[in-house]
Structure 1
């Protein structure tokens, strides 16, 4: 069965973040504290996966691969909220995406049969991924929290030329000529949000 997923990172005034909080914050916390998810994170942290091009030739890593993909793909409480399953008063298009039409205030990565957060996390590894706020790509921050977390996000997503080459090689997503890589877009939004005194919302979800 096919699917399409999206990961969006967008900046908003604190007034919008306050409106989103009752819908998204409980779901994000439920995903972050789920014991199975924490176990999967620890498994990946203790044993990062090899090059993705070897995954299906080397069957010894099958269990770890499945655990990592389950950890990093949408499917938890945030995904259910965004798809109207558990919160019919919330609509990701109307409440998150449509209020911020400017490209400078939003990064969106949409993929058929693939997941942006999984590709990003595999590319940067668990130590850098642990610096990113929220849980597996889902984040809700006020303007003050954006400013406070920006140094960690810069450490996670800033690379030397040699590091960028290795990270780019581990990012398996296919990009069009105008697509912004998952290693670049989130940091751009964090920086513009911090400079403008705005909050930030990131959600990973299935769109069909």
Structure 2
């Protein structure tokens, strides 16, 4: 069965960020603090993956260790069960919805970046393209974060370092981003940094969530 996923990064005022914090921050912490998730993250940092075009060898020549490292990375960058509750529903008694209570509140298209993918996760392609050292500079956990306007300003230099490229570095990253983009679609190498810069310029906070929508 196929899936459709979305990675969204949206700007909000600090009052909204403060109201959302008790719902989202514990979910992100639960994802980050899972021992298996930390093990997968540390393995990826120790063993960065090669060119994605070598991942599935049609001749069956990949060694078991390489296959295990790939499986670990794929699980690391899939939507986690805790943050997924932001879309599926936090509890039977809580009518909060990521769709209506976060995304639908954004009225300016410039205030949100969304990458919707079929059978794939945008965070996965972004992280592989930039590599573990750059990904480690991004706040939050695997594309999920909630930041006040002050935290946006504080983290902007690190995000600039993670997602800023020389021409040669950009070409290399684009070569490892396997997502296809239409004329009106924003790359995962561009959208997140644009959102950080926009939020910092307008004294806004940021909400980033990677989920499976169906």
- Identify the TM-score tier after normalising by the shorter chain: over 0.9
Identify the match of residue 195 of structure 2 among 183, 189, 195.
189
Q: Which ranges of 4 or more aligned residues in structure 1 deviate by more than 4 Å?
A: none
Contact 1:20 1:95 in 2 (8 A): no
* TM superposition shift of 1:75: 2.6
Match of 2:86 in 1: 81
**Secondary structure of the residue that 1:77 maps to in structure 2?**
coil
Aligned to 2:163: 157
Larger Rg: 2
**2:62 matched to 1:59?**
yes
- The equivalences for 1:1-208 within 5 A come to 1-57=1-57, 58-60=61-63, 61-84=66-89, 86=91, 88-208=94-214
- TM-score, normalised to structure 1, is 0.97
Counterparts of 1:188 and 1:71, CA distance in 2 = 25
| Equivalent pair of 2:10/2:207 in contact (CA under 8 Å) | yes
The Cα of 1:177 is off from its aligned counterpart by 1.4
Q: Return the offset for 1:181.
A: 0.2
Distance in 1, matches of 2:42 and 2:96, equals 32
Q: 3-state DSSP class of the match of 1:110?
A: strand
Q: What is the SS of the residue equivalent to 2:26? A: helix
DSSP 3-state at the match of 2:161: helix
d(CA) in 1 for partners of 2:177, 2:203: 31
CA distance 1:65–1:9, change in 2 (3 Å): same
In the aligned structure 2, how far is the partner of 1:65 from the partner of 1:165? Answer: 23
Kindly state the Cα deviation for residue 86 of structure 1 after the two structures are TM-superposed. 4.0
Deviation of the 1:103 alpha carbon = 1.5
Gaps of 5+ in 2: none
